[in-house]
Structure 1
Amino acid sequence: MVVLDLFSGAGGLSEGFFRANATFVGHVELDPYACKTLKTRTAYWNLKQQGKLNIYYDYLLKKISTETLWDKANVLHSDDVINKEISESTFPEITSRIKANLKNKNLQHVDVIIGGPPCQAYSIIGRARMKESVSADPRNFLYKYYVKFLTTFKPKMFIFENVPGLRSAGDGQYFKDLKTAIDKAGYHIEEPQELIASDFGVLQNRRRIIIVGWEKKKNMQYQYPDFEKINIDKYLVNDLLKDLPSTTPGTRIEGKNEYIQNTNAYLIKANIREKNFNILTQHETRPHNERDREIYKEAILAWNLYKKRLCYKELASRRPELITHKNTESFTNRFNVIKADEKASHTILAHMAMDGHYYIHPDIQQLRSLSIREAARLQSFPDDFYFEGPRTSAFRQIGNAVPPKMAEQIAKTIKKLIDNL
């Protein structure tokens, strides 16, 4: 299965296809830090295929540099990761590089195109934040380039991933235009479905629209794929957190023998931490002032005692010394605790790069927001997945990603369909 990955981000969707033994001819991404993450993860998969993961583990332990890792894994001079904005001016160069990759790898064609344009302009939250400017946002029309890649490489199938708000953005016109463009490009789509990450082994209520398309053929019978679900009803969010060491704001814990417990059944089932894996990385937290930490305590108590979310307006009347925003109505839902005793957390968003108030760790002894590693786990990224770049970028990469475990279930099904075409 030969795959082209567009608008790749850090590679959550591509991770699932790596697990389905896909061969990639390109990951196209604008963000330079996400591109470095993609190269490092490609290095992991190359070394795994060669039985040389000890080199990758040396990198996690900071024994070798990024450049040395990439060199030893044959990705230093590879063109698999293309750090370019997709636009009218860059399209010829990007397609030329992808075609060169196909030739260099002795491949004839692309089987599947995957990915989804940035979703801020389609999401309900994004639209609310952007207000009138949303209609002029050029990201509304990036789907046109996705379709242009379809007409250029003519894959057998494609996967277009986005937020549920795609259907209603622009009063539904963007979605209508997308379907029309896909049809004109020679592809058929069944009515897209909204998938929930928690149905696929992820302890998170993340919802995504997954559009599946087929190249039109005579007498072809189309049916939306039945992606295999994973039952995780017996697990709680705390199963994601309890083997990680307690920490404080503004600190970083890494290295061997830093886990405080062995891995558990959920972490193994979700491919997050294998039985003998013992290298903790990026358990890094952002700093907090004491006022925010006191608010975190109030938020945790509100949940632990009353199973209620902290109301900022009520807090303003009860503890005015903690309030810094006069317009309490605007901040009513700003603080939110990760519920350790529930079967799924609320959605991890890219906005966590800006502040951690929406992702408060449930332990009242720690009074902090989630670490990079904890956020990555809630997205089902494995502990050996390393995010390049500063802390803010890592959070953004995580929040923008498709959960890898969900992507894996999608990829396995698509591979079976491709094999039967």
Structure 2
Amino acid sequence: MNFLDLFSGAGGLSEGFLRQGFNPIAHIELDKYACETLLTRTIYYYLKKDNLEHLYREYQMLYHEKDIVKKQAREELISNIPIGIMEPIINVEISDKTLPFLFKNIDDRLNYMGIGELDMIIGGPPCQAYSLIGRARDKDGKTGDPRNYLYKLYVRFIKKYKPKAFVFENVPGILTAFNGELFRNLKAYMKRVGYNIEAQTLNAKDFGVLQNRKRVIIIGWRKDLNFDYPKIEPVQSNYIVNDLLYDLPNLGAGTSYKKFIYSGELNRYLEEYKIRKSYDVVTHHNARPHNTRDLKIYKLAVEKWNNEKKRIKYTDLPEGWRTHKNITSFLDRFKVVAGDEKYSHTIVSHISKDGHHYIHPDIKQNRSMTVREAARIQSFPDNYYFEGPRTSNYIQIGNAVPPLMGEKLAEWFKVKLENY
């Protein structure tokens, strides 16, 4: 079974389908660093097939080296893979202008692989134009944002390749954008090209992810197929967020961990949900620096959570600690990741800005979450290597579909597609 990945990001949704044995035709993504991450992950899967994972781990352990060293090492890894085997990762914006180029590349790949029919298209256009917060902060409510209509380009791929089914992921705000008119148009467009569709709001916490993350998942299937919407039983467990964090070495603000070795043993959650293997190494575990004022606020926020199980509000801060004049809205500027709860609050790309909304629950460490910690909350495994600078790593993670969520969807589709 095969799939085409549009608006790929760092590959969270794709990762779920790869784990279930789906073969990628191509990944298309605008962001340069996300494409580099996708390439590194592609290398991992091809090395894994040939029992060469040790070469990949050696690459991971170059994490603290200069970019030029890592680039050369990655090129050496690629030399272990026969030419033409790896799927293309196309670093191009999806637009009316680029569609002919993209279609040609995909056609060439399908011909090379001897594939006559595409099984699935997966992906989701950038969500900022549909997000409720984004619309609230924009004086025009994002009405002039061209990203509102990227779904039409997504449907152009569906119309051309007529896959058996597709998965379209986005934020809940897509259902209400422009008083619901955008979603009505999207449904009509998808049905017009020959697909039955259904949309549901799903929560990542029901898929084993220790995060409260709601997303709209639109499923479409060709009208000639007897499909329906995936029926997935919610995962029930007693794990808490600290089960994700306890084995990562303690860090203070502005410090880096360079030894690659875990500080705790592999626990049941990390193993069961494929976050960590016994032979994995620690990368991307560097703590941001914070100024003295922010560190005081972080400590106050953690104390309030630990003692009262309450979130700190901006108006709770001493006046001398406030830097914003606005004290009537967005009062939850500082938020602790609740380590003693079953689920973290939602990881979003804003984590790249300052970390104030993602304070580590351990008051002794007194800092915001590292890239690796954020990746774990999103259910990325520790062998997932994010390319690019730290800011880009946070954006890639915050925008991603949790791999555990993607895998459950892929597992359901695998069973369905085996009958066609």
TM-score range, shorter chain: over 0.9
Query: Cα gap change, 1:50/1:229 in structure 2, threshold over 3 Å: closer, same or farther?
Result: farther
How far, CA to CA, are the matches of 2:228 and 2:407 in structure 1?
20
Deviations 1:294-331 (A, max 9, x none): 0000100110111110111121xxx2221222222344
Instruction: Tell me if the contact between 1:24 and 1:80 (Cα under 8 Å) persists in the aligned partners.
Output: no
Deviations 1:214-269 (A, max 9, x none): 1111xx5442111243322x10000001001110222321443x211111011111
Is the counterpart of residue 299 in structure 1 residue 324 in structure 2? Answer: no
Match of 2:189 among 181, 184, 201: 181
Map of 2:262 onto structure 1: 259
Is the counterpart of residue 231 in structure 1 residue 236 in structure 2? Answer: yes
How far, CA to CA, are the matches of 1:285 and 1:130 in structure 2?
32
Measured after TM superposition, the shift of residue 77 of structure 1 is 9.1
Query: Cα gap change, 1:61/1:76 in structure 2, threshold over 3 Å: closer, same or farther?
Result: farther
Correspondence 1:8-27 to 2 at 5 A? 8-27=8-27
Instruction: Tell me if the contact between 2:42 and 2:86 (Cα under 8 Å) persists in the aligned partners.
Output: no
TM-score (norm 1): 0.95
- The one-letter amino acid of 2:219's match is V
Query: Cα gap change, 1:75/1:18 in structure 2, threshold over 3 Å: closer, same or farther?
Result: farther
Give me the identity figure in percent: 50
Runs of 4+ in 1 over 3 A off after TM superposition: 73-79
How far, CA to CA, are the matches of 1:417 and 1:77 in structure 2?
27
How far, CA to CA, are the matches of 2:106 and 2:221 in structure 1?
21
Is the counterpart of residue 250 in structure 1 residue 266 in structure 2? Answer: no
Match of 1:209 among 216, 226, 230: 216
Once the two structures are overlaid, the 10-residue window that deviates more, 54-63 or 194-203, is: 54-63
Is the counterpart of residue 198 in structure 1 residue 229 in structure 2? Answer: no
Instruction: Tell me if the contact between 1:254 and 1:282 (Cα under 8 Å) persists in the aligned partners.
Output: no
- The one-letter amino acid of 1:420's match is N
Match of 1:150 among 154, 158, 161: 158
Is the counterpart of residue 322 in structure 1 residue 327 in structure 2? Answer: no
Q: SS of 1:72's equivalent?
A: coil
Query: Cα gap change, 1:254/1:419 in structure 2, threshold over 3 Å: closer, same or farther?
Result: farther
- The one-letter amino acid of 1:116's match is G
Query: Cα gap change, 1:51/1:229 in structure 2, threshold over 3 Å: closer, same or farther?
Result: farther
Map of 1:377 onto structure 2: 376
Query: Cα gap change, 1:367/1:348 in structure 2, threshold over 3 Å: closer, same or farther?
Result: same
Q: SS of 2:196's equivalent?
A: strand
Correspondence 1:248-397 to 2 at 5 A? 248-256=252-260, 258-274=261-277, 276-315=278-317, 319-397=318-396
Correspondence 1:23-172 to 2 at 5 A? 23-62=23-62, 65-74=73-82, 78=86, 80-132=88-140, 134-172=142-180
Instruction: Tell me if the contact between 1:157 and 1:213 (Cα under 8 Å) persists in the aligned partners.
Output: yes
How far, CA to CA, are the matches of 2:221 and 2:132 in structure 1?
29
Number of aligned residues: 412
Query: Cα gap change, 1:133/1:209 in structure 2, threshold over 3 Å: closer, same or farther?
Result: closer
- The one-letter amino acid of 1:6's match is L
Instruction: Tell me if the contact between 2:202 and 2:215 (Cα under 8 Å) persists in the aligned partners.
Output: yes
Is the counterpart of residue 417 in structure 1 residue 420 in structure 2? Answer: no
Query: Cα gap change, 1:20/1:86 in structure 2, threshold over 3 Å: closer, same or farther?
Result: same
How far, CA to CA, are the matches of 2:383 and 2:205 in structure 1?
22
Q: SS of 2:328's equivalent?
A: helix
How far, CA to CA, are the matches of 1:200 and 1:253 in structure 2?
31
Query: Cα gap change, 1:173/1:108 in structure 2, threshold over 3 Å: closer, same or farther?
Result: same
Measured after TM superposition, the shift of residue 418 of structure 1 is 1.2
TM-score (norm 2): 0.95
Instruction: Tell me if the contact between 2:280 and 2:383 (Cα under 8 Å) persists in the aligned partners.
Output: no
How far, CA to CA, are the matches of 2:242 and 2:415 in structure 1?
34
Q: SS of 1:281's equivalent?
A: coil
Q: SS of 1:271's equivalent?
A: coil
Query: Cα gap change, 1:125/1:253 in structure 2, threshold over 3 Å: closer, same or farther?
Result: same
How far, CA to CA, are the matches of 1:79 and 1:342 in structure 2?
40
